[in-house]
Amino acid sequence: MRCGKMAAPPPPPPAAGAPGAWGGVRRRCQRLLYWVPVLFISSILCWSYYAYVAQLCLLTMTNIGEKVVCLVAYHIFFMLFVWSYWKTIFTLPMNPSKEFHLSYSDKESLEREPRGESQQEVLRRAAKDLPIYTRTMSGAIRYCDRCHLVKPDRCHHCSVCDKCILKMDHHCPWVNNCVGFSNYKFFLLFLAYSLLYCLFIAATDLQYFIKFWTNGLPDTQAKFHIMFLFFAAAMFSVSLSSLFGYHCWLVSKNKSTLEVFRAPIFRHRTDKNGFSLGFSKNLRQVFGDEKKYWLLPVFSSLGDGCSFPTCLVNQDPEQASTPGGHNSSSKNENHLFPAKPLRDSQSQLLTDTSSWSETTAKAEKGKVGMSNPALTMENET
């Protein structure tokens, strides 16, 4: 018989009426409610498939050629729509990598020390080798006290998901997911293909909608489906076109929805176009370098979501250069940053790699005058 202390029995589950039990039930009910918009969109999609394929194409259209063309084109749009929607919903948002999380000792120090210079020193030490260039409104390093990490550039904490999301754009209830670095391309394609889907249905359904409205066709069960199908497709087309156009503008400027409402704050100033590298490179950041993948809902975005090239560390293309290769103007020196490593997939977006190395050398030379401002810990959402 073995001697020793017996292991303590596991704690009993909370009673049915305990506060913890009710809290768990409430959270499960909330998670179920979050799926209601997705189920609504899915039910509309299933009904539209039945109304278009069965009622319009198979039962109403009389021309065989028109039937074949409409069915083939419809199923292409339908497949791309469902594929991109599925990927947007079930692609998990990416969270900051381990290097941005505070170590156990740093977390202990941060909790033990009062708010002040000691906490600022902990954050300085944790962020000194990280590729971060943005700050809070007060000039502090962006820190999340819920996830216990230094926030990468363009990362924000989602109150619904209760976690930090890389390059967060917004939390979309229609997909029950955060739209960020990992699925922003899928979200754009979802908007594009859903708009094409609705426009195609409205265009091919219009003549039959007019015929039923003017009593040009017999009053059958298909009349309700075809008329309501046109109204639904036209209504969704209007709303989707404005939303898709807005996100196309965001891509062209390399902005997120959150950055439109709160411009990113860099070390020296706020710059609403700080991450914009020009239309072509902004497009490649989302869709990647290989154009054959642009229209497919497969991940092809550049980078890792933790670091991004910025025009503030790139040589100003409008500035004249001296024969020695150095800028004759000192404008670019107002935006020097400490030497932080950009990922290889991000660095290739910079037009001139030599200018990046020159800027880094200048930053090292002027490091004495580039010390961090007084940092205070500030929570952001």
Looking at residue 116, what is its pLDDT? 66
Looking at residue 35, what is its pLDDT? 95
> Does residue 172 carry a catalytic annotation?
yes
- The one catalytic residue in 3, 172, 306, 311 is 172
Look at residue 73 and tell me whether its pLDDT is greater than 70: yes
Look at residue 2 and tell me whether its pLDDT is greater than 90: no
Looking at residue 7, what is its pLDDT? 44
Mean pLDDT on 357-373: 39
More confident residue, 263 or 10: 263
Helix and strand counts by DSSP (H, E) for the chain: 11, 9
Mean pLDDT on 33-59: 95
Mean pLDDT on 155-179: 95
DSSP 279-334: HHHHHHHHH-S-GGGTTSSS---SS-SS----GGGS--TTS-B-TTSSBSSSGGGG
Look at residue 228 and tell me whether its pLDDT is greater than 80: yes
Looking at residue 334, what is its pLDDT? 37
Residue type, 293: Y
Look at residue 352 and tell me whether its pLDDT is greater than 50: no
Per-residue pLDDT of 4-14, as tens digits, reads 444 445 555 55
Looking at residue 290, what is its pLDDT? 94
Angle 36-49/19-34 helices, nearest 10 degrees?
A: 30
Look at residue 255 and tell me whether its pLDDT is greater than 70: yes
Nearest of 158, 162, 159, 177 to residue 41 by alpha carbon: 177
d(CA 294, CA 285): 11
Looking at residue 27, what is its pLDDT? 77
Looking at residue 21, what is its pLDDT? 60
Q: Any idea which residue has 């990992």 for tokens?
A: 182
Looking at residue 223, what is its pLDDT? 86
Looking at residue 315, what is its pLDDT? 38
Look at residue 171 and tell me whether its pLDDT is greater than 80: yes
Look at residue 338 and tell me whether its pLDDT is greater than 50: no
d(CA 113, CA 131): 26
Mean pLDDT on 93-122: 83
Q: Please provide the average confidence, as pLDDT, over all residues in the chain.
A: 80
At 26, the pLDDT band (50, 70, 90 cuts) reads confident
Structure tokens at 199: 């426009």
